[in-house]
Structure 1
């Protein structure tokens, strides 16, 4: 469902109106509420103006903050019954709500460039198979919206490790891949982003276990998000989080240095 369809939906508009009413009654600005919830003002704005359908976790956070038992959650239930929620894989909406609150992210990707750094055209190629046009547009909008955390005043520190074959996978045409590599190079030069690549010549290593993301927070326990074919899972069990932290460090140990990784990206771009 495209953003235009979202803003025309009465249930989503009603959710936004109720949220705005509670915020203004509490004499809170959008930045103040965003700070309290650990998200961005833009995220609050999109909820209030009906440009984004709320997730279950967001509705629960709002009920907790405003001390309105079940008010926002009941509205979310009605939105879900009407089929207006984003077509996200099971488990992923919870990850998105945690992602905006993380202070440090450790990401390993073995199949595609991570969503936070994708261009819209690359995202289209990744998401298009087996989905309707409206579903693809909504998922791309959600993915682009997630990237707002990179532009906020205090963006998270991100360490991204990619298997080199991700960079050579023929996703889209030559121009799509070229634009995506250029975008990744731009991100890799930001002070809060570290990009390292496991060279294609590397034999078997722990990266074969699949992609995962570790999220660190200032005010809660760390979590790991594990991607699956049909669904994802957010895990906060300390022993499993530690296991993935160890795995990430071992994967990083076989990756190229930051400088060599950036040089490889530039070489791939030049040869595209």
Structure 2
């Protein structure tokens, strides 16, 4: 597995790091001594103890053998593999997904990509599979498909989606996938609980150019807002700030084409894909 400079947030990876440090310290070994004994580099041990790398199965087996555990590190490694897709999720997004299942209303503005709740499976794979191994990509796709049930379940949430036209035109996959994705938008837009409109490229500067965001509303709880920047997620609950996003969204819808005009634009872009 690769490394990265920032610690992983997944609890299983953090637990492996803590246990490795504890067992090494109890044995009276420095990171260098353990590394030399097991045939690894001190840098590798340091990365693992800082939760900046994901251990290999072989390394976990070597630790169990060396420390004479009852398979502790192999169990931790398996837990990491079972949950590793969570490690790449932006901070705040896991809590957002939990709240999303309870939402009665969804309002979303998307600047660059088709929003996850509107994506086809093929489009999803082009997005989440770009830098992920197949197993992790499969888990992320399954999770996202499950999320989409909020729009089709009994007592489905009412949802308003506003997209910048650039999201329709970004070629993240081959023409067949893009055409299928745009056709899917048209089909979803026929559902009584879903409204989809588009801000055309002809629109000059408008508030949406500052970034994408989603507002969730609930029957018996205050609204929340979720947004991302540079891969970092932010869940906002402060009422004053949430209210400002509601005003922003209403303004964005004022910049968008009417729903039927938006459908005509989506059809036009779809035809360009052949």
TM-score, length-scaled by structure 1: 0.69
In structure 2, what is the equivalent of residue 136 of structure 1? 137
- Secondary structure in structure 2 of the residue aligned to 1:131: coil
1:170–1:218 distance in 2 versus 1, CA, 3 Å: same
Which ranges in structure 2 are unaligned for 5 or more consecutive residues? Answer: 1-11, 13-74
How many angstroms apart in 2 are the aligned matches of 1:80 and 1:154? 40
Alignment of 1:43-58 (within 5 A): none
How many angstroms apart in 1 are the aligned matches of 2:138 and 2:244? 36
How many angstroms apart in 1 are the aligned matches of 2:200 and 2:121? 26
* One of 78, 82, 98 as aligned partner of 2:79: 82
In structure 2, what is the equivalent of residue 66 of structure 1? none
How many angstroms apart in 1 are the aligned matches of 2:124 and 2:140? 9
How many angstroms apart in 2 are the aligned matches of 1:79 and 1:147? 31
Q: Deviations over 1:150-190 (max 9, x none)?
A: 22111000000000011111110000000000001000111
- Secondary structure in structure 2 of the residue aligned to 1:122: helix
In structure 2, what is the equivalent of residue 31 of structure 1? none
Which ranges in structure 1 are unaligned for 5 or more consecutive residues? Answer: 1-10, 12-77
Q: CA deviation at 1:134?
A: 1.2
Q: CA deviation at 1:97?
A: 0.6
How many angstroms apart in 1 are the aligned matches of 2:123 and 2:191? 21
Count of matched residue pairs: 196
In structure 2, what is the equivalent of residue 100 of structure 1? 101
Check whether the contact 2:151–2:159 (CA below 8 A) recurs between aligned residues. no
Q: Deviations over 1:217-254 (max 9, x none)?
A: 01111100112222211111001101111111111111
Alignment of 1:132-171 (within 5 A): 132-171=133-172
How many angstroms apart in 2 are the aligned matches of 1:214 and 1:118? 18
Does the alignment pair 1:182 with 2:183? Answer: yes
1:245–1:81 distance in 2 versus 1, CA, 3 Å: farther
In structure 2, what is the equivalent of residue 265 of structure 1? 266
In structure 2, what is the equivalent of residue 207 of structure 1? 208
For the aligned residue pairs, the C-alpha RMSD in angstroms reads 1.8
Alignment of 1:239-254 (within 5 A): 239-254=240-255
Bigger shift: 166-175 or 79-88? 79-88
In structure 2, what is the equivalent of residue 111 of structure 1? 112
How many angstroms apart in 1 are the aligned matches of 2:115 and 2:167? 10
Q: CA deviation at 1:92?
A: 0.9
Larger radius of gyration: 2
Q: CA deviation at 1:79?
A: 8.1
- Secondary structure in structure 1 of the residue aligned to 2:159: strand
Q: CA deviation at 1:89?
A: 2.2
- Secondary structure in structure 2 of the residue aligned to 1:82: helix
How many angstroms apart in 1 are the aligned matches of 2:77 and 2:118? 29
How many angstroms apart in 2 are the aligned matches of 1:250 and 1:191? 23
- Secondary structure in structure 1 of the residue aligned to 2:202: coil
- Secondary structure in structure 2 of the residue aligned to 1:146: helix
How many angstroms apart in 1 are the aligned matches of 2:265 and 2:146? 29
Alignment of 1:5-84 (within 5 A): 82-83=79-80, 84=82
Check whether the contact 1:92–1:231 (CA below 8 A) recurs between aligned residues. no
Runs of at least 4 residues off by over 3 Å:
78-81
